[in-house]
Amino acid sequence: MQLQSKIPVKKTKIIACICLIVLIVVCSVLSTKEISKHKNDSSQNVSDDINIQKKTTIETSELQEKKSDIFVPSTDDKTVDVSSDNNIVSQYAVLVNADDGAIIASKNANEKMYPASMTKVMTLLVAAEKLNNESLGQKIEISIEATDYSFKNDCSAAGFLVGEQVTIEDLLNGIILPSGAEAAYQAAIMTSGTLEKFVDDMNKKVQELGISQTTHFSNPVGIFDENNYSTACDMAVILHAAMENEICKKVLSARNYTTSCTQQHPQGITFSSKFLNRIDRKFGKGKVVGAKTGYVNQSRYCAVSMYESEANNKYICVTGMAGKAWQTVYDHIAFYQNYCK
């Protein structure tokens, strides 16, 4: 026997309609929430994009500002190729306007060369940037590691002895005028803690100057190494940066310097810049206001100097691969006398 439904058909239809209406309302509410969430997410994404764009713009602006401060030597249609100038015998050479970076004359100026003790200009700069004028009178003890480093590598020395208490100013002048390897080593340890860390600091400065593609240092002395290289143009950039530093400029421009009195050297040690004293005797127009020479077999005699003409114009000259020490002097004179105003 089949049972008949106790719920009237009409009532059943009403219940179904109510359920359908409730379902529609619930779906509508959920859809509205999803749309709102999507809008919020999109808004957040747009906001993030704006923030990223702002950050990138700021970083780009800072980078462009930093790059604009870099001294960049550049050639133009006025640059003279001195390859055929018999007065200039160095294989690598460049003369740069120190004010605007214009290359006045050149000869293999962007070719790889080994800078020898011109390296010490960068050594001086990196050390000096971690010092100030007040620290120059502080005493530093010369270590056996410093003197051994100089001796083992057959380097020129300032003449400081193990245990000698010298001032930081003595040390810096010992790096440049007598080209002392023990002074360079001791300055590296003093300012960076280890030789390796100091060399890292040298190469960070190379990057900062914008010359990392063509210059790299492996030691603070200029000892020959395939990874201790530069170009004539890059060395001009390094000297320009050094001459902007007050401490470096004072050291690089000194003709003579006598160290403070110590137990080992009661009268001090007198250093002399052979290059500056020689060029002073041979060239009387204007003045060479800073210089550093170098020598290793692979680069022969080389030099970098800054000259201020009688018209108060400044120039930087770099030469490398000269056969004699005096030839670097004559080459620099030829540049300053024939190509400067």
- Binding residue numbers: 292
Q: Is 179 a catalytic residue?
A: yes
User: What is each CA distance from 15 to 8, 10, 12, 96, 335, in whole angstroms?
Assistant: 11, 9, 5, 96, 106
Going by the annotation, the residues of the binding site for substrate are 292
Convert 199-228 to b/e letters by CB count within 10 Å (16 or more is b). Answer: bebbbebbeebbbeebbbbbbbbbbebeeb
Is residue 117 annotated as part of the catalytic site, yes or no?
yes
Residue with tokens 């007065």: 87
Q: How far is Cα 212 from Cα 204, in angstroms, rounded to an integer?
A: 9
106, 143, 150, 179: the active-site residue: 179
* Burial grade of 70 (CB within 10 A; 0-12, 13-18, 19 or more): middle
Residue 230's nearest CA partner among 332, 300, 320 is: 320
**Active-site residue identified among 90, 106, 117, 150:** 117
**Cα–Cα distance measured from residue 319 to residue 80, given in angstroms and rounded to the nearest whole number:** 15
Are 180 and 164 contacting, i.e. CB atoms less than 8 angstroms apart? no
Which is the catalytic residue, given 90, 107, 120, 143? 120
31: annotated active-site residue: no
Q: Hey, which residues are catalytic here?
A: 117, 120, 179
